């Protein structure tokens, strides 16, 4: 059964049609990769699924329930949580404070702090509990974004470019964490620019260009799709 | 519900030692200095109540004169005009203030006010409140209301003036500071600080922004109103230009900022230092060169804010308690 279903979602910003009838589904336990060139509408799509943006038309279903228009905090409590492409900083809270707040979604405060410390240790930030997010390196900030999501005990995590800006070596840590969580049953939807990374993780792929879905297939198929190659590299010269 | 740190604070001999020592001060001080300390405690209570909204959730509310005014003018009017017992007046005023707070929080959420718009809207509420008080005879109008003499009848919300008022204010201030400690050690404190730092990210990790902001505003408004009622009982005269004017909120914001925003003991520290300083300066210099005490007071405040922008409390911690966990390790 599909855990997350996106059904003909469109979003219009004034004269711009940012999303045009996009549909896809993610199976429970799957990892869906969403790719597409800059400005294709990936972040808008994420905003719609996570409840930050209300679609102009179309619906989103999660775990069999229609969730269109439900606020982000309620979705998080239902088990659908997102990370942000631009790492969100907190001026006056430590990494432990921030992740503790996330852990409060499902835990009483006496357990939340210990659990948050445990999650931070699991993502490799165990020695940085008392640092403020702003002082962390980019890689650590991305890991913190991941830890925040994990601490809410989600069924499904939406990752918005969690690898962007990292070197190939630095992506190994998040990849390992995502694999481990997936093995424990967490479903992922990832928007990603770093194609090699997403090829390694995804069980299925959706390609978006100019707000429309142009392809949907297994990772090894998708790179052969002429429309996808075109969207990324332009038309074949010899075609 | 609440982390153990709160109960450790409750059981701390330091806390109760300081409160007990404070409670003994009126025995040794003249009535003049007892009065100054009583006023300082009023501001400790008000600044600490304001801190729940202004410090923890970072919403610089200028509406708090509305809540002080509700607690003071409404309970006074109910007593003087309708003969309603002031204990009942305290409860009615506090409920009214809580409702007004909830309305302001809802408006803030419904119209997604930014920081500046929130400041201006709350100021508008405060201005409207002072116009209502000054224009409505029931609340005393521009001439205010004179309360019956304080004969020390506890059942009539009378505490015998002087020392009695000091102890009441000490109790209120202690309770409100402890409410701050409790909130910072409970989910609400975490939610509010996350909202203050990043509202969108707070929502994404499951924080219901409207509910938490409303809770904070209602708690703050109710506590502020209660202090307003106790304050007007001490003053015996319900003066709209003191108790329902936005100027009093500016003072509260100033004390909280100088002491340390968002910290449990910060606003209390600010009020305890600045109120007596202002009073003593006025007493010593006010007669010599008119306005000189304000000038010196202003310079002190500017120097403090420039020297330690996050407030005196963090500065004191750096000086005296280097082991504090909140500090960067050197």
Evaluate if residue A108 carries a pLDDT over 50. Answer: yes
3-state helix/strand/coil string of chain B: CCCHHHHHHHCCHHHHHHHHHHHHHHHHCCHHHHHHHHHHHHHHHHHHHHHHHHHHCCCCCCCHHHHHHHHHHHHHHHHHHHCCCHHHHHHHHHHHHHHHHHHHHHHHHHCCCCHHHHHHHHHHHHHHHHHHHHHCHHHCHHHCEECCCCCCCHHHCCCCCHHHHHHHHHHHHHHHHHHHHHHHCCHHHHHHHHHHHCHHHHHHCCCCHHHHHHHHHHHHHHHHHHHHHHHHHHHCEECHHHHCCHHHHHHHHHHHHHHCCCCCCHHHHHHHHHHHHHHHHHHHHCCCCCCHHHHHHHHHHHHHHHHCCCCHHHHHHHHHCCCCCCCCCC
> What CATH number does the domain containing B219 carry?
1.10.3470
Residues A148 and A159 occupy one common structural domain: no
- Cβ-based contacts of B198 with chain A (< 8 Å): 88-90
* Minimal CA separation from B205 to chain A, in Å: 5
Residue A212, domain extent: 2-79+154-233
When divided into structural domains, chain B yields a total of 1
- Cβ-based contacts of B187 with chain A (< 8 Å): 104, 109, 112
How many contacts, defined by CB atoms under 8 Å, are there between A and B? 89
Per-residue confidence at A236, pLDDT binned at 50, 70, 90?
low
Residues A127 and A216 occupy one common structural domain: no
Q: How far apart (Å, rounded) are the C-alpha atoms in residues A214 and A16?
A: 18
pLDDT at A233: 67
Find, in chain B, the residue whose alpha carbon is nearest to that of A153.
B205
Residues A71 and A158 occupy one common structural domain: yes
User: pLDDT, tens digit, for every residue of A31-82?
Assistant: 999 988 888 888 899 999 999 999 999 999 999 999 998 999 999 999 999 9
User: pLDDT, tens digit, for every residue of B28-77?
Assistant: 999 999 999 999 999 999 999 999 999 999 999 999 999 999 999 999 99
Indicate the residue among A132, A152, A172 that finishes a domain: A152
Q: Domain for residue A171, yes or no?
A: yes
> pLDDT by residue for chain B (330 residues), tens digit each?
888 889 998 988 989 999 999 999 999 999 999 999 999 999 999 999 999 999 999 999 999 999 999 999 999 999 999 999 999 999 999 999 999 999 999 999 888 888 899 999 999 999 999 999 999 989 988 889 999 888 888 888 888 878 899 999 999 999 999 999 999 999 999 999 999 988 889 999 999 999 999 999 999 999 999 999 999 999 999 999 889 889 999 999 999 999 999 999 999 999 999 999 988 888 887 677 777 777 888 888 888 888 888 889 988 888 876 554 444 433
Task: Test A52 with B201 for CB contact under 8 angstroms.
Answer: no
* Minimal CA separation from A128 to chain B, in Å: 12
- The encoded tokens of residue A168 equal 């190939």
* ipTM of the modeled complex: 0.89
Find, in chain A, the residue whose alpha carbon is nearest to that of B198.
A90
User: pLDDT, tens digit, for every residue of A18-39?
Assistant: 999 999 999 999 999 998 888 8
A 124-163 residues inside an 8 A Cβ radius of B: 130, 148-149, 151-152
* Minimal CA separation from B196 to chain A, in Å: 9
Residues A129 and A186 occupy one common structural domain: no
Residues A134 and A175 occupy one common structural domain: no
pLDDT at B322: 59
Task: Test A93 with B197 for CB contact under 8 angstroms.
Answer: yes
Indicate the residue among A136, A152, A168 that finishes a domain: A152
Residues A159 and A73 occupy one common structural domain: yes
Residue B230, domain extent: 4-246
> Could you tell me if A90 lies within 8 Å of chain B, comparing CB atoms?
yes
Backbone phi and psi for residue A160, each to the nearest 5 degrees, phi listed first = -100, 100
Nearest to A82 among B1, B197, B204 (CB): B204
């Amino acid at each position: 059964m599909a855990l997350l279903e996106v059904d003909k979602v469109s979003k219009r910003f004034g004269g711009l049609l940012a999303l045009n009838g996009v549909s896809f589904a993610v199976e429970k336990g799957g990892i869906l990769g969403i790719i597409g060139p800059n400005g294709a509408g990936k972040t808008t799509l994420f905003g719609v699924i996570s409840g930050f943006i209300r679609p102009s038309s179309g619906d989103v279903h999660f775990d069999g329930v229609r969730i269109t228009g439900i606020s982000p905090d309620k979705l998080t409590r239902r088990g659908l949580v997102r990370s942000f492409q631009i790492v969100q900083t907190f001026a006056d809270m430590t990494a432990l404070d921030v992740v503790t707040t996330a852990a409060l979604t499902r835990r009483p405060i006496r357990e939340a702090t210990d659990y948050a410390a445990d999650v931070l240790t699991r993502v490799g930030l165990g020695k940085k509990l008392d640092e403020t997010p702003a002082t962390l390196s980019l890689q650590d900030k991305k890991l913190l974004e991941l830890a925040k999501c994990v601490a809410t005990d989600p069924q499904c995590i939406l990752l918005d470019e969690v690898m962007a800006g990292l070197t190939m070596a630095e992506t190994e840590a998040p990849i390992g964490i995502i694999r481990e969580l997936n093995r424990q049953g967490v479903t992922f939807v990832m928007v990603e620019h770093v194609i090699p990374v997403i090829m390694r993780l995804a069980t299925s792929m959706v390609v978006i260009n100019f707000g429309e879905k142009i392809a949907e297939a297994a990772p090894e198929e998708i790179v052969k799709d002429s429309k996808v190659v075109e969207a990324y590299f332009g038309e074949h010269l010899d075609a | 519900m609440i982390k153990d740190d709160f109960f450790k604070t409750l059981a701390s001999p330091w806390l109760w030692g300081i409160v007990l020592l404070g409670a003994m001060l009126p025995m040794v001080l003249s009535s003049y200095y007892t009065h100054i300390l009583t006023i300082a405690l009023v501001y400790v209570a008000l600044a600490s109540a304001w801190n729940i909204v202004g410090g923890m959730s970072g919403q610089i509310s200028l509406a708090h004169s509305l809540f002080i005014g509700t607690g003071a003018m409404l309970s006074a009017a109910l007593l003087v005009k309708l003969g309603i017992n002031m204990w009942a007046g305290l409860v009615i005023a506090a409920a009214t203030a809580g409702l007004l707070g909830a309305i302001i929080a809802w408006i803030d959420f419904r119209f997604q006010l930014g920081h500046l718009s929130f400041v201006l809207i709350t100021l508008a509420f405060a201005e409207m409140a002072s116009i209502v008080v000054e224009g409505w005879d029931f609340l005393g109008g521009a001439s205010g209301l004179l309360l019956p003499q304080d004969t020390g009848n506890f059942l009539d919300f009378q505490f015998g003036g002087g020392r009695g008022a000091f102890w009441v204010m000490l109790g209120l201030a202690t309770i409100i500071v402890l409410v701050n400690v409790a909130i910072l050690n409970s989910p609400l404190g975490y939610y509010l600080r996350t909202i203050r730092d990043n509202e969108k990210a707070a929502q994404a990790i499951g924080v219901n922004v409207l509910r938490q902001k409303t809770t904070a505003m209602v708690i703050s408004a109710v506590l502020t109103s209660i202090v307003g009622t106790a304050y007007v009982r001490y003053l015996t005269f319900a003066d709209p230009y003191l108790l329902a004017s936005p100027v009093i909120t500016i003072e509260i914001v100033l004390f909280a900022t100088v002491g340390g925003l968002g910290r449990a003991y910060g606003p209390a520290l600010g009020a305890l230092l600045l109120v007596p300083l202002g009073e003593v300066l006025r007493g010593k210099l006010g007669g010599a060169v008119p306005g000189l005490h304000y000038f010196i007071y202003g310079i002190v405040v500017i120097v403090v804010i420039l020297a330690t922008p996050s407030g005196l409390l963090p500065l004191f911690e750096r000086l005296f308690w280097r082991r504090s966990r909140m500090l960067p390790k050197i």
